Amino acid sequence: MIEQEPEQIKKRVLHLSEQLGFALCRVAECRTPPHGPEFQAWLKGGYAGEMQWMEKNRERRLDPDLVLPGAKTMLVFATNYYQGNPAGSQQTDQPSGRIARYAWGEDYHDIILKRLREIDNFLISFGGQQKCYVDTGPILERDFAAQSGVGWHGKSTMLINRKLGAYFFLSEILTTLELPVDAPVREHCGSCTRCITACPTGAITEPYRLDARRCVSYLTIELKGAIPIELRPLIGNRIYGCDDCLDACPWNRFAKASSESAFAARESTAGMSLTDYLSLTPEKFRQLFKNSPIKRTKHRGFLRNVCVALGNIGHLEDIPALEKAVDGGDPLIAEHASWAIGQIRSRAQRDELTGTSKNSIDLK
């Protein structure tokens, strides 16, 4: 074991984190997160929806010592994934879907965890015991990120940094080493409520409160069953996640494109139409989204989302593809495809009656 002062260890960790590609590294004390009571009230109110794993790990989220006995400090890392303006329009006249920026490229979990392991190994040489997490651990990570000065809690509940905006991943290393902690920064949202106004489903019910049951990211990723009918029209053409509250934040005008090419959009997230997606078999889905965050929603969940998007922006010529989905054998996909067909026909009928349709149509 190498003997070295905590200040020197921290200095070397900061240098290593920069070399590994992290945009920020800050240190927080491992203690009860300040918003623990609010988190418990949020769970009690049912705002987590079907995310039972949050309730299952509730006690651990409120006490880092239950995650890593003897944990004294937490290293919090920010990884910039911003890739500039949205990917160019698809090379087709067919309707296309919107995918949240963080899922355009490779799976960030795998990329960031490898980097955390390097820092973990470095800390082991000083006698530290660590636990590494990339958006998966039983930690109220935004609380610790705010405590360490990575950013402040925005009214959307997202963390915001003055230089990075809000387009960054958080990851953590809990350690038994006692390193010098950093100070929090004050919030800079002021009276701005653009994120609240921008939310398409009204999921941000008030400043700093999110009803996950209405959030597009929850509906298109976490929810495994049917999307509530009343919320489907509000989803628009979003097929995986949502960036609207982030895009509306004025602080994102300072965001600079990440140099990490692995987060750039690839053909599977920028060059396919909704009907292309709808033709995917389970095997083709796995191949197309290998090493992508999108694999998390699985084939049936993704096609469910595609059907909803087609219901909102699709045309009559998309109905044959939806009819195939109805007959495909999966009840979840079939129900959403049937709904989409009804939406398209109703929209076409309204257009015909108002004279906005370009061509005569067959609504049968």
Strand partners, 169: 79
Spatial contact of 171 and 53, defined as CB atoms under 8 Å apart: no
**Does the annotation count 135 as an active-site position?**
yes
Spatial contact of 71 and 255, defined as CB atoms under 8 Å apart: no
Closest alpha carbon to 315 in 290, 296, 341, 336: 341
H or E stretch at 134? none
For residue 245, give the amino acid letter. C
| Torsion 333-339-342-344 (CA) sign | negative
Count of other CB atoms within 10 angstroms of residue 338: 16
Specify burial of residue 287 (Cβ count, 10 A radius: 0-12, 13-18, 19+). exposed
Radius of gyration of the chain (CA): 23
Spot the catalytic one: 63, 65, 93, 135: 135
Spatial contact of 119 and 76, defined as CB atoms under 8 Å apart: no
Reduced to 3 states, what is the DSSP secondary structure of residue 99?
Answer: strand
Q: How far apart are CA 21 and CA 267, in angstroms?
A: 25
Helix segments in the chain, DSSP class H: 6-20, 36-44, 52-56, 58-61, 64-67, 108-124, 141-148, 194-198, 216-217, 232-235, 244-248, 267-270, 274-278, 282-288, 298-313, 319-326, 331-354
List residues with catalytic annotation.
135
